[in-house]
Amino acid sequence: MKRLLVPTLLLTLLWSARDSVAEAKGDDFGAVVKVVEEFYGVKHKGIPFLAKAGIKAATAAAHLAGGSKKRLAEAGSVKLAFFEDQEFSAKGGFSDFRATLKARLAGRWLPFIQVLSLNDEAQTYVFLRDAGPKYTVLVVTIEKHDATVVQVNLAPQTLAMLMQNPNDIGKAIMDDATTTDDQE
């Protein structure tokens, strides 16, 4: 039995890795991850295990009806890619990256909000797309040494609630996507 266990585990890991790569290649989420990789010459860590360490839940999540356990993202809709301890130099400004990103998503996504801070070397981009009864939100945050790309589906009422304070929407979604239930 033990002899079967190791190959089965390996096969499962390989299968899930294959799925993750295929998923990344087949949609705009994957395309955006690639834009970040190519523009900054970095590599992502696609498995969200690292993200689940110690990131507090967004206060916006707690404000939702249903209490602090209520999540923003629709179950099973979260896609995450992390870039850790890498160089995202903002010395040349943000214009080129911003233009590249916008061009990649043009026509399919609404560039909902962009907040760029040269002093903090931080960039936040939030794009929106109609997904039938729900909305898909794509958030890209880039700091000096770390970056995250997250895509989630939101119920319309959740989006409506978040839209009142669009400057915080990126952080709220990012925190929600990277927080496990037991951390709340």
Partner 1 sequence: MRTLFKTMKLASLALLLGLSVSVTARAQNARIEMGQLDHLGAKASETVDVNIDERLMHLTAKFLSGKDPDEVKIKELVNGLKGIYVKSFEFERDGDYSQADIESIRLQLRSPAWSKILNVSSKKEGSVEVYLMSNAAQVGGLVVVATDLKELTIVNIVGPVDLEKLSQLEGQFGVPELGIERTKPKPKN
Residue numbers of the site for partner 1 (CB under 8 A)?
Answer: 93-95, 98, 110-119, 128, 130, 156-157, 159-161, 163-167
Nearest to partner 1 of 34, 98 (CB atom)? 98
Cα-only R_g, the chain: 17
Q: Least separation, in Å, of the C-beta of 16 and partner 1? A: 35
From residue 146, alpha-carbon distances to 85, 104, 166 in Å are 6, 21, 22
Nearest to partner 1 of 29, 135 (CB atom)? 135
Only one residue has tokens 């967004």, namely: 58
Q: Least separation, in Å, of the C-beta of 176 and partner 1? A: 18
From residue 23, alpha-carbon distances to 28, 41, 87, 95, 143 in Å are 10, 21, 26, 28, 25
Nearest to partner 1 of 11, 99 (CB atom)? 99
Q: Least separation, in Å, of the C-beta of 55 and partner 1? A: 24
Residues counted in the chain: 184
Q: Are 159 and 64 in contact (CB under 8 A)?
A: no
Q: Least separation, in Å, of the C-beta of 119 and partner 1? A: 5
Q: Are 42 and 83 in contact (CB under 8 A)?
A: yes
Q: Least separation, in Å, of the C-beta of 58 and partner 1? A: 18
Residue partners of 110: CB distance under 8 A and separation at least 6? 127, 128, 129
| Three-class HEC string of 71-109 | CCECCCCCEEEEECCCCCCCCCCCHHHHHHHHHHHCCCC
Q: Least separation, in Å, of the C-beta of 50 and partner 1? A: 29
Nearest to partner 1 of 28, 168 (CB atom)? 168
Nearest to partner 1 of 9, 118 (CB atom)? 118
Nearest to partner 1 of 31, 116 (CB atom)? 116
